[in-house]
Amino acid sequence: MAISNILPRKTMKNRTRLQSMMERHDYDQKAEKTKDGELVSSYQCSPESAAEEFEISKQLYYQNTGRSQPRHRDVIMYRIIQSFKPGEITPEDANRLGFELAMRFTKGQHQFVVSTHTDKSHIHTHIEFNSTNLGCDGKFQNVKNSYLVLRQLNDALCQEWGLSVIENPKPKSRQAGERAAIQYGVSGKERLRQAIERLLPDSRDFEDFLARMRSEGFEVRLGKYVAFRPPGQAYFVKTHRLGDSYTKEALMERTGGPRGQSGLAEQPRFTTGRPGKLLIDIQAKMQAGKGKGYERWARIFNLQEAAKTLNFLIDNNLTDYDQLAALAGSAGARFDEVSGRIKQLEGRMAEVAQLKTHIIQYSKTREVYAAYKKSRHKKEFRAEHAAEIALHEAAKQAFDALGGNPIPKVSQLSQEYGRLLEEKQALYEQYKTLRQDMIAYQTAKQNVDRILGTGLPEPEQTQKDAQTR
């Protein structure tokens, strides 16, 4: 049987919105967890660029609606986890089931990525879906009983797939969830990891994070390492055993450091001579002291990111804002061009693969369908051969959609698919480079806008505007 839960995702401490989404997608899609990416599927986005595509939709949402949320309230994604009883399902079927669950739960209105993990004793699937809808004019409404809808859909799917379901589940509670996790194979490490990812983004500092963990029933042990003992578990788990993002140092950095520290890891490399007007403006902003202007800016931006941005400008000899804006625009345009072509190729590849399947299924079901047409008891015959008849009729509809054009041969479709795949693979090498360039330049421009207060609304004003609508 599968147990499921839903978790809102917010921007992580000391991360931008895009960085937070990239980090989470990268974790979900790790090769060692997903059979080198074979167990990753997606809807209305590419797994490799899902974070960037999610980010673009959010920018379009703001352009379309003018609405925004404060960082601490803004839900950027939602994560669904399905955990399966060991031995009850194959990894491939688990991924298909996860895709179907995501499609039904989001009603096909949100982008999502489905990653099935096989690195534990139990198979489990991570589903990350965009909070912004495909039309970029609305967001997912996570109402109070969303988890009940999710559970009902999950149970219905399990029954359709011949899997067992939890009979008469108890009302939602942390204790019940923990018992279920233990019963169905979710390890103590995974429960700890989930708790950290849920509590850490809203923590003010490292001490506040530890306090939140204690309030959730975790026993804390501090020393050279950080260790937690989950409720009901007999032993402590050292966080560095969860991965590089969970070491003591990493957790302190992600929460902004101990209380009273800024968490600034890198100082700007100020140059000698004339650095240019843009750099002078940024340096002046960062050295301005603790006035009201500085305090207002510090609330919406992170000093660490400011230092990184300044160093990027220096290293790339970017001394003029218009020059930076032009490079950011051209990098985005080149990426969009290649990304658009890859999507075209993927769309045509899907069409070719689907048409090829229809041709094969049409041939396999031809005799059954002919017998059905001749049968005097069509209702009974159809009930007995429902799957074959449905496949045959679907194939006929696909052939009708060709608009009178001849049905291609399977060999022709295979050759076309090979050509499309070859072009996609060649473009993907450009895609990776262009993606890095786009992220670097657009992130730098966005950060400069925030530092100098250009092009972006103040959070307080944005909130007031949203309240008046």
- The HSE-up count of residue 233 (CA atoms within 13 Å, CB side) is 22
CATH number at residue 158: 3.30.930.30
Residues 124 and 13 in one domain: yes
Residue 166: the pLDDT is 64
Range of the domain at 362: 323-437
User: Other CB atoms closer than 10 Å to residue 174's CB: what's the count?
Assistant: 11
**Within this chain, do residues 105 and 221 fall inside the same structural domain, yes or no?**
no
Residue 139, φ and ψ in degrees, nearest 5? -130, 160
Are 217 and 331 in a shared domain?
no
Q: Quick check: is 447 in a domain?
A: no
Structural contact between residues 99 and 93, judged by C-beta atoms closer than 8 angstroms: no
pLDDT reported for residue 84: 82
Q: Which residues pair with 227 in a beta bridge?
A: 221, 238
**Per-residue pLDDT, 463:** 40
* pLDDT at residue 123, as a whole number: 87
The rounded average pLDDT for each run of 10 residues, N- to C-terminus, in the chain (469 residues) is: 76 88 91 90 86 85 84 91 84 91 91 91 90 89 79 85 66 44 55 83 80 85 88 84 83 67 40 44 53 47 61 77 86 88 88 88 91 91 90 89 88 89 86 85 79 51 40
* Whole-number Å distance between alpha carbons of 150 and 102: 9
Task: Report the predicted TM-score, pTM, of the whole model to 2 decimal places.
Answer: 0.41
Q: State which of 170, 185, 200 marks the end of a domain.
A: 185
**Helix (H/G/I), strand (E/B), else coil: 112:** strand
For residues 98 and 151, state if they share a domain.
yes
Boundary-marking domain end, from 148, 163, 185: 185
Are residues 402 and 365 part of one domain? Answer: yes
Domain assignment present for 63: yes
Q: Are residues 15 and 139 in the same domain?
A: yes
63, 50: one domain: yes
Number of domain units in the chain: 3
Same domain for 20 and 130, yes or no, is yes
Cα gap 223→219, rounded to integer Å: 14
- Token couple for 205: 């500092």
Are 12 and 144 members of one domain?
yes
- Tell the residue number behind the tokens 């970017």, with chain if given: 318
